[in-house]
Amino acid sequence: MHGSRPTGAWSRGVALLAAALPLVVVAALAVLPPATLDGTPLAWLPPLAAAALLFVATLGALAAMVPGIRTGSGESLLAAGASAALVGVAVNELTGSRVQAPALLLASMLLAGAAIAERAGAAIGRRAAIATVVALLALVETAVLAGLVPGPADALAPYATAGLAAAAVLALAAAVVGRVDMTTAALVAVAAVAFLVDRGHTLESMVGLIALIGSQLVALRGRLEPEEAVDEADQILPELAGRLDDAVLAFDGHLRLREWNAAASGLLGLDAASAGTRLEDLLGVSVAELPSVDGTAVAHRAVGGLEVAMHRSGGKVIAVVRDPGVPPEADQLARELRSTIEELLRARRTIELQRTELERLATVDLLTGVESRSAIIDRLRMEVAQARRYDHPLAVLLLDVDGFRDLNATHGIGAGDAVLREVALRMRLRVREADALGRAGSDGFIAVLPHTDETGAVSFADALRNRLALRPIAIGDELTKVTVSIGLATMRPGEELDVDGLLTRVEEALASARGAGGDRIALDRLHGLVRLEDRRGREPADGPETAQDKGS
């Protein structure tokens, strides 16, 4: 395998340190008396700096736009848009406009988007790339006009400070997240801070212009110089590639050559200078023929009549170039490599599915389908914090199935599980969308009722108790009447109460209801552990049995 380019955390640190010195200069100038350059022998410096920025930013936009359209690289297209926005900054300076916030904010947003696209390895087709360029240029033109036209410029002037501050934050975020344009983004952040503290053609604006010129020079160097290969930790070719007679090549998210095996050196004449060559130029395969993410495609119109099989994983592409007339054993090894890559892709998708399932299992009770105890306690903790912050009532209901232990002993554990599932189903049909329902214990459930006072909680609990007892539950060939005991606790507006205190109240209320014989409701200590009288002799609290109840 060939090629190596050292990248890592140290390069990000160097980029941020490189941006720190101008930032310190800006901070120092901000506390010094204003030093305008107008009327001095140095008055020609700001227009000259603006003209230089206009030139290098235009070059930077073109240097990123052309390869971006060729490869469909989202990072390159967004970086081109950011450079175009800095052209707008130069135009504003040359025309005397002082509203730089729209263009700088747009440049920072596009740099942040480029950093994200680079991480994701985003790539699009040629037509979509051209449409993206047109949309970006229209967006840049709108931002520049917003700073030039008197009406919009005057309307945006009160928000200039906030816009420049947001531009600095976004550019710094792009510097931290990105791997290619870290220094560029850091220098744009410095420029945003410089314009933020500028007091009218002072040295701060000069520092801002110089920082933007430096950002574009750094970007141009990165775009025009061929990149070397990635670090050892980023190598993506399997070791099996070294044993193949077929040429195996690895391309990065920008579709530039990173690694290749010995067979590729002989078949395609590759050497150390080939690192960084684009896939389209090397293999004659267009971006439109590339497979989708985690897919495979075969091109039959490759250079020299060779067949190219391309395997894509995320933003990286592995190409296997073969001659249809190779010996059978080499063809077998090529198939083995392709099979290995496909198995790795399938394994990764399986791991993602398993992780998603584990996350679901951690929050859902498998028997009843309601939230697990840990999940419902977390929800209760959040609702208690919301109730304390916004002074709204909160009610908690704790429910136990009466005689559940005897039911298990008489009919078996399977019957007990069936009863719990049916009780959970009937409770889920009664709770509101904003409420939460979870498992509280072996035979218990807990319901969290936000924005619910004592009256609403009692009405809900009474209706729930009646509907659970209204229709017997089928256990085998028998119909068994199931009753429940319910404890209620409320948290009133303005009451300083934590989760443990609320749970203690509702547990005491449930113990009171069970101690009185079950099939009843008891309120918390604020009401003296009052138990509601048995209401079997009348209809459920919220009306006769509904079709929903019958269906449960």
Q: Please, what are the domains in the chain?
A: 9-224 (no CATH), 232-360 (3.30.450.20), 373-551 (3.30.70.270)
Question: Between the CA of residue 550 and those of 355, 427, 428, 465, 480, what are the distances in Å?
Answer: 38, 13, 14, 15, 16
Provide the pLDDT for residue 264: 83
* Encoded amino acid at 1, one letter: M
Inter-residue contact 76 to 67 (CB < 8 Å): yes
Q: Classify residue 369 by its DSSP letter.
A: S
Provide the pLDDT for residue 267: 79
Cα-based angle 515, 454, 400 (whole degrees, multiple of 5): 35
Dihedral-angle region of residue 17 (phi above 0 means left; psi in -120 to 50 means alpha; beta otherwise)? alpha
- Per-residue model confidence as pLDDT tens for the chain (552 residues): 444 334 444 445 545 555 555 555 555 545 444 445 554 555 556 777 778 878 888 888 888 888 777 767 777 888 888 888 888 787 877 777 667 778 778 888 888 888 787 766 666 777 787 888 888 888 888 877 776 777 777 777 777 778 778 877 887 777 777 655 677 777 787 777 777 776 555 666 777 778 778 877 887 777 766 544 344 334 556 666 666 677 888 888 778 888 888 888 877 888 888 888 888 778 877 777 776 656 666 665 545 567 788 887 766 788 888 766 655 555 666 667 777 777 777 787 788 777 776 766 678 888 898 999 989 999 999 999 999 999 999 999 999 999 998 888 888 888 899 999 999 998 988 888 899 999 988 889 999 999 999 999 999 999 889 888 888 888 877 888 889 999 999 999 988 889 999 999 999 999 999 998 889 999 987 655 566 654 444 444 444 443 334 443
Query: For residue 395, what are the β-bridge partners?
Result: 449, 490
Q: What are phi and psi of 467, to 5 degrees?
A: -75, -30
Task: Give the number of other Cβ atoms within 10 Å of residue 250's Cβ.
Answer: 25
For the purposes of burial, counting CB atoms within 10 Å of the CB of 488, is it exposed (0-12), middle (13-18) or buried (19 or more)?
Answer: buried
Helix, strand or coil for residue 531? strand
Question: Which residue, among 251, 200, 263, has the nearest Cα to 73 in the 3D structure?
Answer: 251
- Helix (H), strand (E) at residue 297: strand 296-299
Provide the pLDDT for residue 340: 78
Give exposure, 323-344, as e/b (b: 16+ Cβ within 10 Å): eeeeeeebbebbeebbeebeee
Inter-residue contact 156 to 101 (CB < 8 Å): yes
- Give the separation between CA 534 and CA 458, rounded to whole angstroms: 13
- Helix (H), strand (E) at residue 478: strand 478-480
- Give the separation between CA 179 and CA 5, rounded to whole angstroms: 13
DSSP structure string for 231-253: PGGG--S-GGGGG-SSEEEEE-T
For the chain, the residue count is 552
Inter-residue contact 106 to 139 (CB < 8 Å): yes
- Give the separation between CA 232 and CA 6, rounded to whole angstroms: 8
- Helix (H), strand (E) at residue 471: none
For the purposes of burial, counting CB atoms within 10 Å of the CB of 548, is it exposed (0-12), middle (13-18) or buried (19 or more)?
Answer: exposed
